[in-house]
Chains A and B, each alone.
Chain A
Amino acid sequence: MIMIGLFHCREVYVSPYVPPAAGYLVVEGYISGNAPVSFTLSRVARLSADSTMLPERGAQVQIEGNDNSAYPLTGQGKGVYSSSGMLPLNASVQYRIRITTGSGGKYLSDYVPYKVTPAIDSINWAETTEGVTIFANAHDHTSSTRYYLWSYDEEWEYHSAEQSLYYYDASFNQVLARDTSQLIYRCWHGGPSTNILAFSTEKLAQDVVYEYPVRFIPINSVVLSQTYSILVRQYAITRDGYEFFSLMRQNTEQQGTIFDAQPSQLSGNIHSLSNPGEIVVGFISAGSLVQQRIFISNAQLPEWRYLYLCPAPDTSFNSPSQFPLVYGTSYTPIDLNPRGFISNYTSCIDCRTQGGTTTRPSYWPN
């Protein structure tokens, strides 16, 4: 067809206008009674390619109940403020957060009810030709939850294309055998969820969450090339909280098709006491936290093929004079054969080049 290649609808856009840093306060956290409470304070940054998070340090943060209880949080650095242990919170009390920033700005949230989060019924997954989708399932037979929020931490084990038994020691210009602590074949990589996962059952006759998709892994991705683990956390939130997260998702994740809603101003439940018109980003909720971890092994996915884009290993150089040139830059030795060391690109040998570390998580099986 002649039309192929005619539609290039989307291209990267860099706005010629960079607005000045707005500097509004951003507050994120969940007031939970069954886990340490942790809040992150930061500032709105300039929109540019190299924006980094601007943590808000030196603030005083306190959780307050409408029973006149108060629990100060302590700064942990990087804008994180947390309680040292679990707070004795009560499901019949409403809570709020009070913040005084280092520069003297005073902020206070609305009171929010303490919601008891129902258990996660299961975390299951399904494979299609497109990939694997991981689902959360939950229900509340009292139908009092209705609004759910999830987040997760995931980690996966992956291997490099070849196991390297030797390494190049530049200080002595030698190729030496690795001991087990120096192996760079098995790595673990992961991180937190980056999408807003919120769902409402208000349109359903029963308060049932059936297969809410929390994570999609495209077919043959490295993520499921060995073993994968996901820890899904579930939070019960209020209707207002659900609307806040829905709008945040609509503004920041659901843009770009023809019929998308236009982005609009996001209002949370935290307000400035010193300057009532000031924007404060964030919505706080309170409740218990439930979580569940599952593992998926590559063995459960017989069709899953992660492809290493690596050439066949090559015999390389025995002469120490060539070591710096070869192993000092892009090659790593693998093994020794009668003609000398065989080697391959470091990116094929060192799993750490793909972003992970060789530190095995404590909970990892086998």
Chain B
Amino acid sequence: MRILYAILIGCLFLLMPGKEGFAQAVGKQPLVSVDFPRIRIDSLLIELEKQTGYRFYFDTADFDTTHLDIHAVRESLNKVLDLALSGTGISYSQDRLDHVFVTKGKAIRTDLPADLFLSVASPGRTAAADTSKDEEDAVGRQPVLVDNKLYVIGEKIPPPLQGIVNMAGYVRDDKTGEPIVGASIYVENPRIGVYSDQYGYYSISLARGRHVLNVQSIGMRDARRVLMVYGDGKMNIDMHLQVMTLKKVIVSAEKASNIKRTDMGVQRMDIKTIRQVPVVFGEADVLRVVMMLPGVKTVGDASTGLNVRGGSADQNLVLFNEATIYNTAHFFGMFSAFNPEVVKDVELYKSSIPAQYGGRLSSVLNITSREGNKKDLTGSAGVGLLTSRLNIEGPIVKDKTSFILGGRTTYANWLLNLLPDQYRHSRASFYDLNLDISHEIDKKNNLYITGYLSQDRFNLNDDTIYGYGNRNVSLRWKHNFSNKLFSVVSTGFDRYQYTISSAHNPVNAYRMGFDINQVYGKAHFNYFLSASHTLEFGLSALHYKLHPGHYDPGGKQSLVAPVSLQPEQALENAVYLSDKFAVTSDLTLDAGARYSLFDYLGPSQVNLYAPGLPVTVDNQTGVAPYAAGKVIKTYGGPEFRISGRYVLTENFSLKAGYNTQRQYIHMLSNTTAMAPTDIWKLSDPNIRPQYGDQVSLGLYHNFKANTIETSVEVYYKRMKDYLDYKSGAMLVLNPHIETDVLETRGKAYGVELLIKKLTGQFNGWLSYTWSRTLIRQDDPNAGELINQGNYYPTNYDRPNDLTFVGNYRFNHRFSLSLNTTYSTGRPLTLPIGVYWYAGSERTLYADRNGFRIPDYFRADFAMNVEGNHRIHQLTHNSWTIGVYNLTGRKNPYSVYYVSQNGVVNGYKLSIFGSAIPYVNFNIRF
């Protein structure tokens, strides 16, 4: 502690990183030689002082007890210092008088910035005109925290500066090169702000002149750029990870963007938040955490099917890097199909669904995987009680092309052996694989290739073996036409398939299969028309091919007659346009329209039914054949997506929205949870598409400098032609499935309250939802009235839902997480009486869903222990130790009655019957 930092603060009012200052200030370099296998930083500095004769200023309190391993022979001083201090958070700078200042965090600026008074402009920075390549190169990749350097955008023109110009670029993590999504880029006064999109891209319109551009993103250190804007230009911004050792957390207005965003009913979560939430067996699980959000419910512990605002599980468009995932469950629905090592973040749209998405009634769940590290080859691995995970990522071409490869597999059969008798002979296994490649072709073109493969295989205590899997590959090409216009063209192939086989009885042995295949192409354009208008438009085409079932002999002795239902094919096209219109700084409207068109295509033999009579086998009048490619039936119509936001005060806003949706593919299920035997069915001449609309209203208020967000959202939703099954419906291998389903009308309404704290030692959220979901089938012509044609609750109608998710960080290596959730039990069809038949007492069922199973309550607890935070070590380890279902409550998954040995017995089935401890070990390398 030779000199106090405070003295310097007084005379130096600007801060700059060390390298920059060093490079500008120093002409020649003394050479030094060091050879220390283990030396403390302060000892090294004293040694360097001796060798160079320079005077070093530092505070030993800034240095931890890290020992360095450093060897250098006749290297320049700055090279040795760079080597020694890189990654330690310690900076240095040197002035013309051979003084070296070593400081924690930002380096001391030893001279005034060259551009401070706007008069000096080094040719390299200003020569660029408009979007020319030179200019991009000059400002393309700026080092971090070049906060007060002046950036000149566009070709310098003489004053007066007038008019609006545009600036665009990418926001990236300086360490891994990954894009930062949802970063807020804004200038103050007049307040203009935009957010980076899923590629980290932003585009902002500014008045010519001097601006201070602020860039903020959760988990990243705030960045600032001083701009002199003369014309259109590009600027990429690299952000620095918020170093954990910083005690002080600066929270700013834009981080809590819920007030300012136009979209409502949107929840975004990054994988860091997801990892904090304790889940069963310690498997960080994207969908389990989404289920903790207001307005999202599920039927029970053994389901990953989401019921968003009263929608059924098949009304969610689950996109994984643009690829549609039809079955999101692994292992009886206890795990979700997404490997947490690969996932970057999750967005759930509950009400304002962007116009570019369509085809599902309830929600869009957009799961994005990470781009591989563009700088270094790294990886991670995790070992848990049930699964292990491994992922590797790194550059293929440094800073240009990267890959990330992740895999996960299970060894869970030991768990099944512990289950009660009826599961003891069960077996289950699964795996999934992800491969993502991102490639920067040039400054204007980026290419993304993603592949996903998952497979499950299980049997439930008998010899019938079930297998299902997703296969997805997608290719996305992002092209920037100009600062204002970019496009994303994507194409891909999705497949979901399942097989069921049994070989126990050689004569009846069979293999059954079902699959959905879809090929899609999509062109999306984003046009930043002006400061007040951002247009999004595009078109998409999706071709479906379903094989609704084939049933084949399962061996040489099998007498099974092969049956194959005719394949179904259809084309779903859509065009859309939306405009985000900033009417005033307080009022923003986002209006979109989408027109979707669905053609059911031949070849097909379409069943014809007598008009005006119930659709039953008896009323079938014939079959109409259609040739290949012939359009058999067309459905379509406009969909509207409108939302608006009005800012009442700095931290209080009001939003409203209305949207309509059409869905052309239906899942048919008569089981409670999404089962691997559920089939999907395209709309056809006998089955209409589903239609839904929703109106919603929300109030958003932030407190305590935006560290606490609160919101109230109410919604009312209508659904038409949602399919329910007839009593005793046969859904598998049914060539006239329209006779076994019913078109129902539904309504859902509710209110969602959320209090959320995003930052600080304590973070988490508390949500309460009250909601109802009711459907009715009151058309006597449909063949069967359900519950006398009255409204009845759906399987997932759980009116009250209270959830708390919290994390408390004691220090940087230790944190505790707790979540608790309470909800009303789901509806249940209880017997109305018993009768004797076929030698046994049996239960009689009448009205559907007239009762409820007991309420659900669960509390989970986890401790997250990080290894030490030294950056330079071979591996970084962390442990998660937790208890799922802390209170050991036997939450019923179902209540059922079964006739056994002649008498009826009632049972309550719980998936997790006690507290479940777990431990998970993760390693990064």
Chain A residues packing against B (C-beta within 8 Å): 1-15, 17, 19, 21-22, 24, 26, 28, 40, 42-47, 51, 53, 151, 191-196, 203-206, 208, 210-211, 243, 245-248, 250-267, 279, 281-282
A193 CA to B902 CA, complexed, in Å: 8
A194 touches B901 (CB 8 A): yes
> With A10-B420, A47-B831 known to touch, is A203 a contact of B838 (CB < 8 Å)?
no
> With A22-B833, A243-B728, A264-B845 known to touch, is A194 a contact of B333 (CB < 8 Å)?
no
Q: Which residues of A contact B671 (CB under 8 A)?
A: 259-262
Q: Which residues of B contact A22 (CB under 8 A)?
A: 832-833, 844, 846
B840 touches A10 (CB 8 A): no
Give the shortest distance, in Å, between A266 (CB) and chain B (any CB).
7
- Contact code string B530-554 (vs A, CB < 8 Å = 1, else 0): 0000000000000000000001000
Q: Which residues of B contact A251 (CB under 8 A)?
A: 842-843, 845
Contact check: which of A252, A258, A282 meets B899 at CB < 8 Å? A252
B843 touches A252 (CB 8 A): yes
> With A256-B898, A259-B671 known to touch, is A193 a contact of B830 (CB < 8 Å)?
no
> With A24-B844, A204-B507, A211-B507 known to touch, is A13 a contact of B834 (CB < 8 Å)?
no
Q: Which residues of B contact A246 (CB under 8 A)?
A: 728
Give the shortest distance, in Å, between B588 (CB) and chain A (any CB).
45
A-B CB proximity, top 7 nearest:
A210-B507, A264-B727, A8-B913, A13-B908, A205-B561, A247-B728, A44-B833
A195 CA to B834 CA, complexed, in Å: 15
Q: Which residues of B contact A4 (CB under 8 A)?
A: 418
A196 CA to B333 CA, complexed, in Å: 30
> With A12-B905, A47-B904 known to touch, is A264 a contact of B829 (CB < 8 Å)?
yes
A245 CA to B838 CA, complexed, in Å: 10
What 11 additional pairs, Cβ within 8 angstroms, besides A7-B415, A262-B795? A1-B418, A7-B418, A7-B913, A44-B835, A45-B834, A204-B508, A205-B559, A210-B505, A252-B840, A266-B728, A267-B728
B907 touches A208 (CB 8 A): no
A261 CA to B845 CA, complexed, in Å: 13
A258 touches B837 (CB 8 A): no
Does residue B917 face the partner (Cβ distance < 8 Å to A)?
yes
B832 touches A19 (CB 8 A): yes
> With A194-B901, A257-B422 known to touch, is A9 a contact of B909 (CB < 8 Å)?
yes
A247 CA to B510 CA, complexed, in Å: 22
Q: Which residues of A contact B908 (CB under 8 A)?
A: 10-13
Does residue B810 face the partner (Cβ distance < 8 Å to A)?
no
**Pairs across A and B, CB under 8 Å, 9 listed:** A3-B415, A9-B420, A21-B833, A47-B834, A191-B902, A195-B838, A204-B559, A256-B898, A264-B829
A9 CA to B420 CA, complexed, in Å: 7
Q: Which residues of B contact A42 (CB under 8 A)?
A: 835-836
Q: Which residues of A contact B902 (CB under 8 A)?
A: 191, 194
User: Residue of A at shortest CB range from B912?
Assistant: A7
Q: Which residues of B contact A204 (CB under 8 A)?
A: 507-508, 559-561
Does residue B414 face the partner (Cβ distance < 8 Å to A)?
yes
B833 touches A24 (CB 8 A): yes
Q: Which residues of A contact B912 (CB under 8 A)?
A: 7
B727 touches A10 (CB 8 A): no
Q: Which residues of A contact B365 (CB under 8 A)?
A: none
A53 touches B914 (CB 8 A): no
Does residue B460 face the partner (Cβ distance < 8 Å to A)?
yes
> With A194-B901, A258-B332 known to touch, is A12 a contact of B834 (CB < 8 Å)?
no
Q: Which residues of B contact A151 (CB under 8 A)?
A: 838-839
A193 CA to B838 CA, complexed, in Å: 7
User: Residue of A at shortest CB range from B787?
Assistant: A265
A193 touches B910 (CB 8 A): no
- Chain B, 901-925, CB within 8 A of any chain A CB: 901-902, 904-917
- Chain B, 287-313, CB within 8 A of any chain A CB: 302
Q: Which residues of A contact B845 (CB under 8 A)?
A: 251, 263-266
Most buried by B among A192, A194, A211: A194
Q: Which residues of B contact A265 (CB under 8 A)?
A: 727-728, 845-846, 848
Most buried by A among B834, B893, B898, B901: B834
Contact check: which of B670, B835, B851 meets A26 at CB < 8 Å? B835
Q: Which residues of B contact A253 (CB under 8 A)?
A: 898-899
User: Residue of A at shortest CB range from B853?
Assistant: A13
Most buried by B among A53, A204, A208, A245: A204
A281 touches B837 (CB 8 A): yes
Q: Which residues of B contact A261 (CB under 8 A)?
A: 670-671
Does residue B489 face the partner (Cβ distance < 8 Å to A)?
no
Give the shortest distance, in Å, between A118 (CB) and chain B (any CB).
16
Which of B258-266, B673-681, B798-806 has 4 or more CB atoms under 8 Å from chain A?
Answer: B673-681
Contact check: which of A14, A28, A264, A266 meets B906 at CB < 8 Å? A14
A248 touches B838 (CB 8 A): yes
Give the shortest distance, in Å, between B792 (CB) and chain A (any CB).
12
> With A22-B833, A28-B837, A266-B845 known to touch, is A258 a contact of B333 (CB < 8 Å)?
yes
